[in-house]
Structure 1
Amino acid sequence: MKIVIIEDEKPAREKLKRFIQRYAPQVSIVAELASISQAVDWFTTQPIPALIFADIELLDGNVFHLFKQIPHVACPVIFTTSYNQFWMEAFQSNGIEYLLKPFSYERFTAAWDKYQILQQNFSPDYHQILQEIQQQLSNVSQNYKQRFTVKTKTGIYFLDIQEVAYLKAEQGVVFAYTQNKKRHLLPTNTLTQMEPLLNPAHFYRVNRSEIVHLLFIDHLEPYSKDSLAIILKYNLGRLISSQSRTPGLKQWLDGL
């Protein structure tokens, strides 16, 4: 049995290897990949393993981008992450288990046993089972925006909702800002029109002119007595919650 580990933190990678070698010494770890680019290069030239252990937030991006770029990677995945908000995307990407760091050896063995049960009892229809799970999960969010159609002078392109760090209303138009610090003009005039189209589990309106994407929040800092500074990942700056929206922001984050 061959396994691939996708993990950019060496201590986490070594811990996972110890757990695997302790519980299943017969397993062969054929690759240890630390980035999306490494994983893309490996999976385009190597046979698909029996199982993947994958962290989610890597140095060069989100691991879900890998599965979009390499759709033929159809083996089961056990996700390991410090964040609890990715569960839906995980099970839409061949995920069979979701381990929150730091996870114990007992939690690891339970995930491994789940994989073994699926293999033993459902191997002939495994991919069909995954497709059914993915379809059920997609039905949950099918009413929310999955991508934007952006028109420019040179043509039309599509912007995936997962790439949007935050939205901002400026002078009667709405822009989507992405990780590379580019802004994209959206086909709507107000955040009031946009807000119902966004999944409230992932997006929150922090003030009159800005909506933040949960995946891009790094941490919060006090700003004033009744406001918070939302520090974004990838040096994207900060957003300031309004006094009226701060209590709801706290409840939104506490509910995750």
Structure 2
Amino acid sequence: MLKIVIIEDEAPARKKLKNYIEKTREPFEIIKEIETVDETQSFFQTHPDVDLVFSDIELRDGNVFDVYNEIEITAPIIFITAYDSFWMNAFESSGIEYLLKPYSYPRFEKAWLKYTFLKNKMKVNHNDLISKLDAYYQSKLDLKPIYKEYIPVKSNSGIYFLKVEDIIFIQSDYGVIFAYDSANKKHLLNQTSLKEIQEMLNPIVFFKINRSEFVNKVYIEKINRYTKNTVAINIKSHTLKTSQNNTAAFNSWMGLK
């Protein structure tokens, strides 16, 4: 019997997924349903015996890769998300498939059959499977995403284009998103979600330091410890702070450890 973990913070999405799993007629047991990043970390730190993981990416308290980048997950993961900007992260972890919401049963079945195929091949020839997976992942990594160089901004006088390289940080305030440029000018962006913004930005240059802010590495002037598990970032005339969940990943992104 397959031991399955579902990481998804939306109840209707979990229900749909369980219905699809039942349609495969494969014996299974859902040993854990998880809704948050913190719970994901606590669960996998115990090294549970898991055969397959279905995982959303953006959860209510952050990004699940904050966990996968720190803890080695040995079970294969089928990622299910509404965003297509995390496939590189998926294939750098234990990901074997990437389903975009909304997905149909035929698309789910294709991912399920891929898992079944890989599981059976693992029993037959472990080394051959590893070679094929490496080749598959490398082919994905060779596809370089294209990030925005300009963000169109509407104003009373028309539309102007804000250079992404001039943005020092981006901030969400109750669903309203602002970009601050190198001249310390504040721009009201048309987007209403930081997820939309994240898809536009090169993750080598921009990092989400907490639930509401992205910073541009180029303009960071100084970093100081703020609390035991957070840091303060001086950028131009602003001081921003990391969240506890994002601090370790931020330090790694900055090359501090």
Q: Using structure 1 for the length normalisation, give the TM-score.
A: 0.57
Q: Does the CA contact (< 8 Å) of 1:8 and 1:33 recur in 2?
A: yes
CA distance in structure 1 between the partners assigned to 2:149 and 2:176 by the alignment: 15
Alpha-carbon deviation of 1:112? 0.5
Alpha-carbon deviation of 1:2? 0.5
CA distance 1:128–1:75, change in 2 (3 Å): farther
CA distance 1:26–1:128, change in 2 (3 Å): same
* 1:2-13 alignment runs, 5 A limit: 2-13=3-14
- What's the C-alpha RMSD, in Å, of the aligned pairs? 3.1
Unaligned 5+ segments in structure 1 are: 142-198, 221-226, 238-256
CA distance in structure 2 between the partners assigned to 1:212 and 1:232 by the alignment: 15
Alpha-carbon deviation of 1:231? 3.8
Deviations 1:198-220 (A, max 9, x none): x762453432422889xxxx899
Equivalence for 1:201 = 146
Unaligned 5+ segments in structure 2 are: 152-161, 178-187, 195-210, 215-257
Q: Does the CA contact (< 8 Å) of 1:92 and 1:133 recur in 2?
A: no
CA distance in structure 1 between the partners assigned to 2:62 and 2:28 by the alignment: 28
Q: Does the CA contact (< 8 Å) of 1:204 and 1:211 recur in 2?
A: no
CA distance 1:136–1:228, change in 2 (3 Å): same
Matched, 1:94 2:94: yes
Equivalence for 2:116 = 116
Pick one of 187, 212, 229 that aligns with 2:190: 229
Q: Using structure 2 for the length normalisation, give the TM-score.
A: 0.56
Deviations 1:15-49 (A, max 9, x none): 11111122135111110011111011111114241
Q: Which residue type is aligned with residue 210 of structure 1? A: I
Percent sequence identity over aligned pairs: 39
What is the aligned residue count? Answer: 169
CA distance in structure 2 between the partners assigned to 1:212 and 1:108 by the alignment: 38
Q: Which residue type is aligned with residue 40 of structure 1? A: Q
Deviations 1:140-181 (A, max 9, x none): 38xxxxxxxxxxxxxxxxxxxxxxxxxxxxxxxxxxxxxxxx
* 1:1-256 alignment runs, 5 A limit: 1-71=2-72, 73-123=73-123, 124-125=126-127, 126-127=129-130, 129-135=132-138, 137-138=140-141, 140=142, 201-206=146-151, 207-208=162-163, 209-210=166-167, 229-233=190-194, 234-236=211-213
Q: Does the CA contact (< 8 Å) of 2:169 and 2:213 recur in 1?
A: no
Deviations 1:105-146 (A, max 9, x none): 1211111111101111244234555455445555x38xxxxx
Q: Which residue type is aligned with residue 167 of structure 2? A: E
Q: Does the CA contact (< 8 Å) of 2:75 and 2:94 recur in 1?
A: yes
Q: Does the CA contact (< 8 Å) of 1:77 and 1:96 recur in 2?
A: yes
